[in-house]
Amino acid sequence: MKILTRQYHTIRSNYRKLQHIHFPGISSFQHGLNIQQLLVDANLDYKSLEFKYRRIQRQRLRSKSEVSPNDLEGFKRIGGQYFQLERGGQVTWHGKGQLVAYLILDLKCFVKLSTKCYINNVLLKSIQNLLKKTYHLDSVVGVENPGVWIKDNKSKSSSESLKISSVGVRIRHGITEYGIALNINPDLKYLNTFEMCGLKNKRATSIHKQLSHLPVPSVEHVGKLFVDEVALALEMNSVEHINANSL
């Protein structure tokens, strides 16, 4: 049986290049939000923004009641900041050793690219392809629990999985904001101390945790691999990798 795969491409001939802007060093979360908003408002070429953040917790605005006062105090005790955002998803964590990539696209300019397809077939599928091609790691996209998951080989249960990547987006007038977080080599205690993404009794893992015998890949290197996979999924002709310090 032949399996058909659908590729998505822009209907604007001048929008066949994806710009990948890497922000070296540690960025403040507010700085990342400001940069994203500036580019969204400018409605420029399609871009992927890559950041490394300090310890922060974030959640969607409408889920404020889901965070207990004890959890808020816990965030402060570990030296983290707390933000509420207008995006999908629940509480999550960002910090050192984690790739955070925001993709800014106009979905109206693509053929048959719905919100669901964008999340599953572009963002999450690109992470799966990256993990498989580069690190030979098999993963699945969660159906009930969004994100990318890897089988827990240490668990007695064959169905137990560990979360290696989360997703949270906002789409306004067809323009995408926010994106994914992929665990490369973060301190997993920050992800496993609190209930992340509203998932009880679920734990996180990372590329380095799964492949501890290999050198730790840099966030910048993994970011380039991810953006290359996104461009491939969208049938874009090229990727322009840019260091933000050169702008």
Would residue 191 count as lying in a domain?
A: yes
Would residue 4 count as lying in a domain?
A: no
Concerning whether 109 is annotated as a catalytic residue, the answer is no
Structural domain span for residue 75: 17-246
Would residue 7 count as lying in a domain?
A: no
Q: At 80, which amino acid appears? A: G
**pLDDT given for residue 3 in this prediction:** 40
Would residue 1 count as lying in a domain?
A: no
Q: Is 97 part of any known ligand binding site?
A: no
Short-list 231, 215, 137, 214, CA closest to 182:
137
**pLDDT given for residue 122 in this prediction:** 96
> How many structural domains are present in the chain?
1
Selecting among 197, 199, 207, 233, the annotated active-site residue is: 197
Would residue 224 count as lying in a domain?
A: yes
Q: Is 230 part of any known ligand binding site?
A: no
Q: Is 166 part of any known ligand binding site?
A: yes
**3-state per-residue secondary structure call for the chain:** CCCCCCCCCECCCCCCEEEEEECCCCECHHHHHHHHHHHHHHCCCCEEEEECECCEEEEEHHHHHHCCHHHHHHHHHCCCEEEEECCCCCCEEECCCEEEEEEECEHHHECCCCHHHHHHHHHHHHHHHHHHHHHCCCCEECCCCCCEEEECCCCCCCCCEEEEEEEEEEEECCEEEEEEEEECCCCCHHHHHCCCCCCCCCCECCHHHHCCCCCCCCHHHHHHHHHHHHHHHCCCCEEEEEEHHHC
**pLDDT given for residue 91 in this prediction:** 67
Specify the residue for token string 């984690």. 98
Q: Is 207 part of any known ligand binding site?
A: no
**pLDDT given for residue 209 in this prediction:** 95
Would residue 3 count as lying in a domain?
A: no
Q: Is 95 part of any known ligand binding site?
A: no
**pLDDT given for residue 191 in this prediction:** 78
Would residue 12 count as lying in a domain?
A: no
**pLDDT given for residue 127 in this prediction:** 98
Q: Per-block average pLDDT, block size 10, for the chain (247 residues)? A: 55 82 79 78 70 52 54 66 58 82 90 92 97 96 89 70 91 90 90 64 90 92 96 92 84
Q: Is 208 part of any known ligand binding site?
A: no
Query: What CATH number corresponds to the domain at position 201?
Result: 3.30.930.10
